[in-house]
Amino acid sequence: MADIALRQISKRFGQIAALNDMSFEVHDGEFFVLLGPSGAGKTTTLRVIAGLERQDSGSVAFDKQSVDQLGPPERDVAFVFQQYSLYPTMTVFDNLAFPLRAPGRHMDEAAIKQRVGDAAEKLRISHLLERKTGRLSGGEMQRVSIGRAIVREPRVFLMDEPLSNLDFKLRESLRVELKHLQKTRHSTTLFVTHDQIEALTMADRIAVLNKGQLIQIGTPKDIYDRPTSAFVAQLVGTPRMNMLPASRAEGQIHITETPITLPIPELDSILPASFTLGVRPEDVQPHPDGPFNGKVALIEPLGVETIVHINTGKQTLVSTVAGIANLQIGNDVRFDIVRERLHMFDSNGDRVTI
Amino acid sequence: MATIQLRQVAKQFGAIYAVKPVDLTINDGEFVALLGPSGCGKTTTLRMIAGLETVTSGTILLNNLDVTHLRGRERDIAMVFQLFALYPQMTVRQNIAFPLEAQRTPHAEINTRIDEVIRMLEIGHLQNLRPRALSGGDRQRVALARALIRRPAAFLMDEPLGALDAEFRETMRAEIKRLHILQHATTVYVTHDQIEAMAMGDRIVVMSAAVVQQIGTPADVYHYPANLFVARFIGSPGMNLLTGQIVGEAIVLTGGGSFPLTDRWRALLERANLPEQRVILGFRPEAARVDPQGPIPGTVYADDLHGAYTMLHLALGDNTTIVHARASRETNYPIDTALRFDLDPAMVRFFHPATEQAIVE
């Protein structure tokens, strides 16, 4: 497989800057996810790497060699789309074998059979090989599409929201399969999604994009624990991070219109007088001896955990607790906030860090 | 205020059942979620309650009055579809007033009621804007206000959040429930999203293939699923379900490993008429915990961070059966690490492999 480097890629469509000075590297064997809302530039980035779209400036390199002068076939990438594009009248076997039977390949049928068999086993579709693809379920078709990318053994896999047309249960299981497959084959994979759970659960590293700009790159833990902006903080995590107006006074953080004050971490000198305090729901913890008190406004029991909305002063804090919480709407509740895991953002939405 | 009763209500299209006979009582002020995959009959059930669909057999009672053959608009029930359609040429205030204007309600009363819902939904600052100028979430709030202002006896909602982005869904889900708590109007809410049903419903009616599978509180359907369908459908991921066979004092699992049975469990399973002693062992991902002394061996197939926690996916000995186990976020094992795990006995459930029903005392 290959590593990939993007250097200062920009791309305009008419008046619209689709990509603005985008630079990042994907390591050999890495599962790299591009995450962002629609219009972020994720798909355009993928298409530029594939050679399906020509950048206005900047360069793309595989294994330190520029591929800017190569067309899509010479770049040797495999693209998996959201819409599976299979030949409905062919069997699964023939669909999988199709890229291997391309005239340039000169591959004999025994070798093809071997490769297709291996890929089918990995994707758990061996029992479907003789079936016509027109008769498969959505999940099976997407497995075949992924299989068709795998058999080619390309330098790079590019996947554009391949799971988003599938129902939730199927998405859940294919997520695990794809991750396992990628980890056992060490294939360099760029995966585009707008779904933060897909990004967190599958990626080695995530690049967060918004409006054609690269916002943050990091491991799922980095992105979740140290979002560099309020935008990223609210993009990942469910329920979303509590974002509370707050001020700094007399050595304390005060959450506006609440009785809550917290000691300031080591940030006293650089923390602005007023800012936004971010607190993850799991860091708001109901506890009989908690120092703060509020009223239960809403309870959402999800089974594995319960989302508790707590009114305190004029603010509402969202908290998650394990299991089915023994709380009633209207109850008084004491709680604590985990001091070590506060997030602070200035008026531009940038993280305040030392 | 409304109590809704369905007695043996069924719907057939030709020979095909869209809904097989249902008995269901929805109490005054209750929020009931009809949950199931597409084609399960949940929307048809809702439309029969609304009077938009005739029943093939059975009786529907509204406040103990038979309304089976009354038309929709004679039932004093508000149907809320996807909360989208606002009139673009009208202001927010005019949009909200529209249902009352159509009923020729006196102006003074219209104004009082608009002010009330506007306060409740905290959208006063938007009232003179047109829908085009609103964010997606605010548009939903206005649409909700327009439904609320009618003060119907009951609300029937058909996937009202279906077209929204994930972030708005989360917000609007809480908003609708908060309003329900304020107003206590009887609400029947159709969704295919189990998280929505769990978060909002006082009770959930789980449907599949035209049949009601279970009616219960969120805690009931999560911890005591009536059958395999409910066990799989509720939860993310669903319940782990392992096939096995009772041999002596343990279940020998088809995928590898065995799970020891207490005397109480053995007595329970003895009465269950199991075919060839075969049984299905069920447990939620949070019931499995890694334990070097645990009875079931597995290898790490994948592990993934969900933010606040890690989900471990373990392959059993057959390398085909995958068990999902919820672990602390610090958990981090390389793929193929060999582990053993144990189950929290309080969260162990059993199912009959032929009937697929839960085995209960």
The segments of chain B whose pLDDT lies below 50 read none
Hey, are the CB atoms on B219 and A324 less than 8 Å from each other? yes
Backbone dihedral angles phi then psi of residue B293, each to the nearest 5 degrees: -95, 0
Distance CA B260, CA B67 (A): 54
User: Within chain B, what is the greatest distance between any pair of CA atoms?
Assistant: 78
User: DSSP letter at A229?
Assistant: B
User: Distance of CA B115 to CAs A153, B100, B112, B147, Å?
Assistant: 64, 13, 5, 14
Chain B: closest CA distance from residue A267 (Å):
25
- The amino acid at A156: V
Task: Give the residue from chain A lying closest to B170, CA to CA.
Answer: A239
Calculate the average pLDDT of chain B.
Answer: 92
Residue A304 pLDDT greater than 90, yes or no: yes
Closest C-alpha among A169, A16, A33, A49 to residue B36: A169
Task: Give the residue from chain A lying closest to B176, CA to CA.
Answer: A298
Distance CA B87, CA B101 (A): 14
Q: In a 10 Å sphere around its CB, with 0-12 CB exposed, 13-18 middle and 19+ buried, how is residue A81 labelled? A: middle
Distance CA B71, CA B103 (A): 17
Distance CA A207, CA A216 (A): 6
First-to-last alpha carbon distance for chain A, in angstroms, is: 39
**Per-residue pLDDT, A124:** 82
Chain B: closest CA distance from residue A74 (Å):
33
User: DSSP letter at A132?
Assistant: B
Residue A43 tokens read as 């798909």
ipTM score here?
Answer: 0.89
Contacts of B241 in chain A (CB under 8 A): none
Provide the edge-to-edge strand list for the sheet that holds A292-301.
Answer: A284-286, A332-337, A292-301, A305-312, A315-322
Do B293 and B254 contact (CB within 8 A), yes or no? no
**Per-residue pLDDT, B85:** 74
Of B178, B286, B304, the CB nearest to A298: B178
Q: Report the range out of A97-111, A129-143, A263-277, B242-256 with the highest average pLDDT.
A: B242-256
Distance CA B228, CA B349 (A): 11
Distance CA A142, CA B343 (A): 34
pLDDT digits (tens, 9 = 90+) for A42-74: 999 999 999 999 999 999 999 999 999 999 989
Contacts of B224 in chain A (CB under 8 A): none
**Per-residue pLDDT, A265:** 67
Do A163 and A198 contact (CB within 8 A), yes or no? yes
**Per-residue pLDDT, A46:** 96
- Give residues with Cβ within 8 angstroms of A277, minimum separation 6: A243, A244, A245, A246, A253, A255, A342, A343, A344
**Per-residue pLDDT, B83:** 58
Hey, are the CB atoms on B199 and A300 less than 8 Å from each other? yes
Contacts of B198 in chain A (CB under 8 A): 300-303
Provide the edge-to-edge strand list for the sheet that holds B16-26.
Answer: B16-26, B4-13, B57-62, B65-66
DSSP of B143-162: HHHHHHTT--SEEEEESTTT
Contacts of A297 in chain B (CB under 8 A): 178
Contacts of A197 in chain B (CB under 8 A): 306
Is the C-alpha dihedral spanning A93, A94, A95, A100 positive or negative? positive
Task: Give the residue from chain A lying closest to B301, CA to CA.
Answer: A180
Hey, are the CB atoms on B218 and A301 less than 8 Å from each other? yes
Hey, are the CB atoms on B313 and A280 less than 8 Å from each other? no
Residue B137 tokens read as 């979430």
- The amino acid at A187: S
**Per-residue pLDDT, A187:** 92
Tell me, rounded to whole angstroms, the distance of Cα B174 from its chain centroid: 15
Distance CA A105, CA B209 (A): 48
Hey, are the CB atoms on B235 and A303 less than 8 Å from each other? yes
Contacts of B284 in chain A (CB under 8 A): 303-304
**Per-residue pLDDT, A291:** 96
For tokens 């961070």, name the residue.
B305
Chain A: closest CA distance from residue B32 (Å):
14
Cα dihedral A320→A321→A326→A328 (10° resolution): -10
* Contact residues, chain A to chain B, C-beta under 8 Å: 167-169, 172-173, 175-176, 179-180, 183-184, 195, 197, 200-202, 220-221, 224, 234, 236-240, 280-282, 297-298, 300-304, 307, 309, 320, 322-324, 329
Do B29 and B6 contact (CB within 8 A), yes or no? no
* Contact residues, chain B to chain A, C-beta under 8 Å: 37, 166-167, 170, 173-174, 177-178, 181, 193, 195, 198-200, 218-219, 222-223, 232-238, 284-286, 301-302, 304-308, 311, 313, 322, 326, 335
Q: Where are the beta strands (DSSP E) in chain B?
A: 4-13, 16-26, 31-35, 57-62, 65-66, 77-80, 154-158, 186-191, 203-208, 211-216, 240-247, 250-253, 258-260, 278-283, 288-290, 296-305, 309-315, 322-328, 338-343, 349-351
Look at chain A and count its residues: 354
Chain B: closest CA distance from residue A50 (Å):
28
**Per-residue pLDDT, A267:** 65
Average pLDDT over every residue of A206-224: 97
Kindly report the pTM of this predicted structure: 0.90
**Per-residue pLDDT, B73:** 78
Confidence of residue A185 (pLDDT cuts 50, 70, 90): confident
Do A244 and A256 contact (CB within 8 A), yes or no? yes
Average pLDDT over every residue of A111-127: 89
Of B170, B233, B326, the CB nearest to A239: B170
Do B79 and B158 contact (CB within 8 A), yes or no? yes
**Per-residue pLDDT, A52:** 94
Residue A266 pLDDT greater than 80, yes or no: no
Residue A142 pLDDT greater than 90, yes or no: no
B155 HSE (CA, 13 A, CB side): 31
Of B174, B200, B286, the CB nearest to A309: B174
User: Distance of CA B45 to CAs B171, B180, B207, B213, Å?
Assistant: 27, 21, 10, 14
